[in-house]
Amino acid sequence: MVQPVADFKHPTSFWSVVFVIACALPVFRVFGDEGAAANNDLFFANADGTATVFANSFETHALRASGADIVPVKAPLFDDPSLLPTSGDNNFIYRLVHRLIPGDSPRDPPPADINSPGPDTANFPNSPFTLQKGRSYIESSPIVMSRAGPGTPRTWAWSFLMRTGLTDDCEFRVFSGGPVVVGPINGDPSYSGFAPLVFDLKIHLWGEEDWLYYPSVGLEAFLATNLASKQFQVGNQPGLTILVAHKFPGEILLEWNVGYFGTNDPDALDTLSESNVAASWALQKQLSKKLAVFYQGFYNGANGNYFPADIVSGLGGYWSATQRLGLFASYNWSIDKMGSPSGGYSGFAYAY
């Protein structure tokens, strides 16, 4: 049966079009390439009228003749800092901080970097430097242990610190000793619970990380709350600490903190709290771009990791595993033979 003309189709016409496009495509790519860089190149116009091009593929004759600054973009190594923001840098917390707090916002979020300014819980003193606005760290020590001593039980805790930059010179922090287990002593049974939750503000007053000799200074104000298990509740206790850092030639860094904090007897929460002076310090040597060792100590209490002793010193190390992840560990001992004779901690810090 003969089909009507309206229903008749020419399959050869379709394949002819496909063949022509396939043959012409390489020609279009060759001639089109002379006038611009690849489609995934990034162009930035500078204030002086020049241009900077981040070239993802290849340079062309026309691009080189334009006089633009060409910066090749390549996949970073495992441990190299990223020059451009990555997909995880523009996260929810970063956007929320910039939306709620007025001020200039960069076109692209700064890359999250665990080494700038660096974790605070790797050693006893806190750094005077703060996170950039919107950048955040989470620092956690799953192993914080101390041995039993005269009248002092052995302990285990899992401490943590969460910090976010509100501005480039001020950060909001929440930290706690976390879950704590206290062993039996002198016939008393062991007990466990959650250590008090502490709310904290750290302010960078002055100084730069590349200063030599001159001190960089910060201030930390915190409030230890009664948000804790009953056996660890000591009321709402304020604290204030001065944070100082000195950088010396040879990649040597000295950090020290001096401050006071309130404390109370869990059985007498209605009485006025007592003020206690506390100090901590650490002398750090940078062995390589990724590895640092330190000698540290404290009097009357460390900032983060719990250690039941009065005067303590110890040795530790910090390893920058990636741009976002840092690992640390330390072993410490009592100098005045009061409280726990020795103990240690290990943990990690993650930038986001």
* Residues 151, 221 within the same domain: yes
Q: Is 251 contained in some domain?
A: yes
* Residues 173, 238 within the same domain: yes
* Residues 42, 150 within the same domain: no
* Residues 276, 339 within the same domain: yes
Whether the predicted pLDDT of 297 surpasses 80: yes
Whether the predicted pLDDT of 178 surpasses 70: yes
Q: Please state the domain count of the chain.
A: 2
Q: Would you place residue 268 in the very low, low, confident or very high pLDDT band (cuts 50, 70, 90)? A: low
DSSP alpha helix (H) spans, the chain: 11-33, 61-65, 92-100
Q: Which of 321, 349, 352 is nearest to 87 (CA)?
A: 352
Cα angle, residue 130 at apex, residues 260 and 202 outer, rounded to 5°: 30
The pLDDT, as a whole number, for residue 339 is: 86
The pLDDT, as a whole number, for residue 304 is: 57
* Residues 44, 183 within the same domain: no
pLDDT tens-digit profile of 19-44?
A: 444 444 444 343 343 333 444 444 44
| Partners of 149 in beta bridges | 152
Here the tokens at position 4 are 């009507």
pLDDT tens-digit profile of 114-172?
A: 999 999 999 999 999 999 999 999 999 999 999 999 889 999 999 999 999 999 999 99
Q: Would you place residue 6 in the very low, low, confident or very high pLDDT band (cuts 50, 70, 90)? A: very low
Q: Is 310 contained in some domain?
A: yes
Q: Is 261 contained in some domain?
A: yes
Residues 6+ positions from 352 with CB-CB distance below 8 Å = 88, 91, 93, 112, 135, 136, 137, 138, 324
* Residues 293, 173 within the same domain: yes
Bigger pLDDT: 334 vs 48: 334
* Residues 327, 251 within the same domain: yes
Q: Is 94 contained in some domain?
A: no
Q: Would you place residue 262 in the very low, low, confident or very high pLDDT band (cuts 50, 70, 90)? A: confident
The pLDDT, as a whole number, for residue 73 is: 43
For the chain, give percent helix, strand, coil, nearest 5. Answer: 10, 45, 45
Q: Is 90 contained in some domain?
A: no
* Residues 66, 135 within the same domain: no
The pLDDT, as a whole number, for residue 136 is: 97
* Residues 243, 307 within the same domain: yes
The pLDDT, as a whole number, for residue 150 is: 87
Q: What's the mean per-residue pLDDT of the chain?
A: 80
The pLDDT, as a whole number, for residue 86 is: 62
Q: Is 277 contained in some domain?
A: yes
Contact 121, 139 (CB under 8 A): yes
Say what the pTM is.
0.74
**Domain encompassing residue 261:** 113-351
Q: Is 89 contained in some domain?
A: no
Here the tokens at position 195 are 């250590």
Q: Is 204 contained in some domain?
A: yes
